[in-house]
Amino acid sequence: MYSKFKLLFLFSCGVAKAQIGINTTTPNATLDVNGDVVLRKELIVPSSTTAGILDPGNVDQVLVSRGSGLPPTWKSVNVPFMENAQYKLVNTYLRNDEAGITTLSNGVAVSTPSTSVLGEDYTTAWVKISNLSTDLQIRSSQNKITYQVQSGVELVNKSVGRGSSVNFICGIFKNNKLVALRPDAITAVDATPVQGIYTLNYTEDNVAVGPYTLEVACRKTFSSDATNNYFRIGVNIPTYGPTPIVTNTTSNAFALRSLFKIDVAELVTYTN
């Protein structure tokens, strides 16, 4: 009887120390599963910070290896989980400019025609806000590109007792082709500077793969009194007159600076 118990004990020890393989006859670890694993309860690992404590992790944490011979640990990852057919933000570009446009006032004639259409070519009738130029690369044909432009505008008459208004268009050119635009206007009464904020928001879908240069440009399309006012985009009017010359203390280049933001998002697709 003693021999039988001894044999059973030795057999049990042998099983306890053996490698176990599921769907494999040559297991490479203590437990080697060749197939899908379904966990109906918690996945618990030893705590990486407190000895003797088991850690089930928190919601949205991922299991990260700590190297050979060490148990994995739970980590929080600041990356959104994407579902199939959702758009993922892959790049954001931001430019700013304080030089602005100073060449559309004080006797400068308006440009024609008074309207523009998407797809038209860039011409010298437009004046670029040079520091907003942005180079980017599109790598996926399934995309959304969102443009946001913000710029201050300022208008002031040369003398008291006069009123004037200016109409203008600003647009976004992609490789010198107009892809977005919006008209606006500003009105001033007497010789007091008036400020406004111009904004343009637009989204393009499925832009072809390749390199692009994006630029912002504006043109003046109407002025009720072109010779008797100062008009600027993206920068303030420092002084105005004619006599006496007055220093403008109501604005500055920083307050009226131009901003150009581009967000590139790509469609997430999974294949089985």
**pLDDT digit string, tens, across residues 189-218:** 888 899 999 999 999 999 999 999 999 999
Query: Which of the two residues, 237 and 243, has the higher pLDDT score?
Result: 237
Q: Give the model's pLDDT for residue 56.
A: 84
Pairing between β-strand 20-22 and β-strand 31-33 as defined by DSSP bridges? parallel
User: In this structure, is the dihedral angle defined by the CA atoms of residues 107, 199, 211 and 207, taken in order, positive or negative?
Assistant: negative
DSSP annotation of 226 = G
Per-residue confidence at 135, pLDDT binned at 50, 70, 90?
A: very high
Coil, helix or strand at residue 142: coil
Co-location of 187 and 261 in the same domain: yes
Co-location of 68 and 133 in the same domain: no
Give the residues across from 95 on adjacent strands.
260
Co-location of 34 and 103 in the same domain: no
Average pLDDT for the chain: 87
* 92 lies in some domain: yes
Co-location of 34 and 146 in the same domain: no
Q: Give the model's pLDDT for residue 190.
A: 80
Coil, helix or strand at residue 189: strand
Co-location of 183 and 120 in the same domain: yes
Co-location of 95 and 68 in the same domain: no
Distances (CA, A) of 25 to 22, 30, 34, 38: 8, 13, 10, 21
Least confident piece of the model among 106-110, 133-137, 268-272: 268-272
DSSP annotation of 131 = G
Give the residues across from 62 on adjacent strands.
75
Residue range of the domain that includes 244: 87-267
Co-location of 75 and 194 in the same domain: no
pTM of this prediction? 0.72
Residue 92 has pLDDT above 50, yes or no: yes
